[in-house]
Chains A and B, each alone.
Chain A
């Protein structure tokens, strides 16, 4: 049987990057095929729980109001954990720039948008190679089949086997990625509102560091969804493979059973659990080129994800880079074709965008964050100071004294603490 095997553009992966690119290009009238490995878009993906809205608004405009948004985040919380004690900083606002959702729902919505715009979405297809001929990419292969296109957009995600196959990137190293694991606990909408102090439709994003990850660089997170909470851990893999003492699923269980946290969800039902890799190294894991003859690279595959500890941006970065790739393709097409020089406008667009600016500016901070000592010393300093200030026997302790004792116990010199703090603030 003869089946159509030539498209204008083939997109590999119906995640946020691929679907945003597919939507933008199909809307312009391109003949687009999106190939997805999972049975449905989003089935192969995992994230913590929060998406920043502004980049998606730029892509979808008012249509974003139809997206499966669970809660708009109006409470941010950061906690330092040491043993059974924790110190928290909370920010509350009547405005919000991010929302919580289930990624499979959002990915499905984004893929449906691409389909409605005219792209053909085909699930259950694993692309196993990018076809390269006479100096340019000409299509993709899957088992015995090949499909051809003038442009291929690689949105395959963090485990970039296709780019490895092309020799564009090396195998991922543990230092370049983090491992995430999470559980979703069903609790009911009212219980969440009561226990987290939220009104209907309002959400909370909570990040924790310290003994909660066994002091391994990374952090724990808690996000409130509509009627469930997502809790989990992200561990810097380079450290984790050397320092981890127990299985990450057991660490998630400890998070769930932590004496200061468990009452928030103790009567909930665990609906699902999962794990995934996330790129961590920023520019260091970007391929040398993101635009080649007939090929554009977007999203996690391009290393285009930001994790600076207090803020993790993956889905919105991925979607936006997919959108920029589509814009670049449209311009290249107007200029006469998908050559490397015409497509290089993608790299320029990236460099001019918040994505690249954030990634390069905050890269030094990632170095600080992967500084293992900080993940022990900071929580010990914060919790040590607070416990001395607030736990009173007979004598009322002085704050500076408490701080100095905690600082010495945490192993900080006064000067080095000031210097690290200064460097951190400057980067932020």
Chain B
């Protein structure tokens, strides 16, 4: 099976803090990681490859530092990587990003399945899978948890997905695009031999817009109709650090009184 895996190199949002004075994110010194939900997608793709053979190419659109992210998934067992990287791609919203990714997938050619994570931890839009499928005019199944069946001769694949109140099973004609439900897989660790290969053989290509020749109106800032009008945040409430010592029954009374005073309890 010829698989393309989309990943994103994101700042570790657990380490990102908000500067209430300037209203911006403090990214300084924050290490980047592969979007954790993309590791579910990676594991899902690797399982398909384990079972049916084939080749997985990881793709991403990002500045050059994202090569480390491609190396990480190659370390897990992905065969090679393509980094779409060009100043002309900068400032892209999800529409312009998905356009470039769709064009990368077209350029790879003969792809059976495109696999994405459910969403990213730094923006949580869950747009990319759906938009790439739209650009490529391919069927799209999201929240996929499990492979049910694959008929190689008919190029038909069956997935199970889980929603809040039900499970659904979809049979799809390949080629298709899927996104894998977050936390649905147990991503395998990096292997030494794969990681050494990633470093020695450099199986990562960098594609610039010179290589791709994309319409400048569809990429980067120009191709992005989304405008971030503003960001607000929930201000941190300092703890009052009041401790009641003594009998638990008294403590409950004291606590209820306190909560009434604070207006937390309305009665």
Hey, which bits of chain A sit against chain B, CB under 8 A?
1, 3-5, 33, 35, 39-40, 43, 120-127, 142-145, 147, 269, 271-272
Q: In the complex the two chains form, what is the Cα distance from A143 to B17 in whole Å? A: 36
B29 at the interface (CB under 8 A from A): yes
Cβ B192 vs Cβ A143 within 8 A: yes
Query: Is the Cβ of A3 less than 8 Å from the Cβ of B75?
Result: no
Counting chain A CB atoms within 10 Å of each CB, which of B31, B33, B190 scores highest? Answer: B190
Residues of A within 8 A of B199 (CB): 120-122
Contact B200 A125 (CB under 8 A): no
A123 to B72, CA, bound (A): 9
Q: Looking at the complex, which one of B68, B72, B200 makes contact with A3 (CB distance below 8 Å)?
A: B200
Give a binary string over B187-219; 1 marks a CB under 8 Å from any A CB, 0 the rest: 001111111110111000000000000000000
Instruction: List residues of chain A with CB within 8 A of the CB of B29.
Output: 271-272
Is A142's CB under 8 angstroms from B197's CB? no
A39-B31, A40-B31 known; A144 vs B191 contact (CB < 8 Å): yes
Q: Chain B nearest CB: distance from A179 CB in Å?
A: 23
* Chain A residue contacts of B193, Cβ below 8 A: 3, 5, 145, 147
Residue from A39, A126, A147 with most neighbouring chain B CB atoms (10 Å): A39
3 closest cross-chain pairs (CB), A and B: A142-B192, A145-B192, A145-B193
Q: How far is the CB of B149 from chain A (nearest CB, A)?
A: 29
Residue contact A124 to B190, C-beta cutoff 8 Å = yes
Residue in A120, A123, A144, A269 whose CB lies within 8 Å of B200: A120
How many whole Å from A120's CB to the nearest CB in chain B?
6
Whether A4 contacts B196 in the complex (CB less than 8 A), given A39-B31, A124-B75, comes out as yes
Instruction: Give complex CA distance A39, B15 in Å.
Output: 15
Interface string of B212-228 (1 = CB under 8 A from A): 00000000000000000
28 contacts between A and B (CB under 8 A): A1-B197, A3-B193, A3-B196, A3-B197, A3-B200, A3-B201, A4-B200, A33-B196, A39-B31, A39-B33, A39-B68, A43-B31, A121-B199, A122-B192, A122-B196, A122-B199, A124-B190, A124-B195, A126-B189, A127-B192, A142-B192, A143-B189, A143-B191, A144-B191, A145-B191, A145-B192, A147-B192, A147-B196
Beyond A39-B33, A145-B191, list 17 extra A-B contacts (CB 8 Å): A1-B197, A3-B194, A3-B197, A4-B196, A4-B200, A5-B196, A35-B192, A39-B31, A120-B196, A122-B196, A123-B195, A124-B72, A124-B75, A124-B190, A126-B189, A145-B193, A147-B196
For the complex formed, measure the closest distance between the CB of A198 and the CB atoms of chain B, giving whole angstroms.
Answer: 22
Cβ of B33: which chain A residues have Cβ within 8 Å of it?
39
Minimum CB–CB distance for A202 against chain B, Å: 23
Q: What residues of A have a CB within 8 angstroms of the CB of B75 in the complex?
A: 124
Find chain B residues with CB under 8 A from A39 CB: 31, 33, 68
A1 to B196 alpha-carbon distance, docked (Å): 12
- Which residues B134-179 have CB closer than 8 A to chain A? none
Contacts of A147 in B (CB 8 A): 192-193, 196
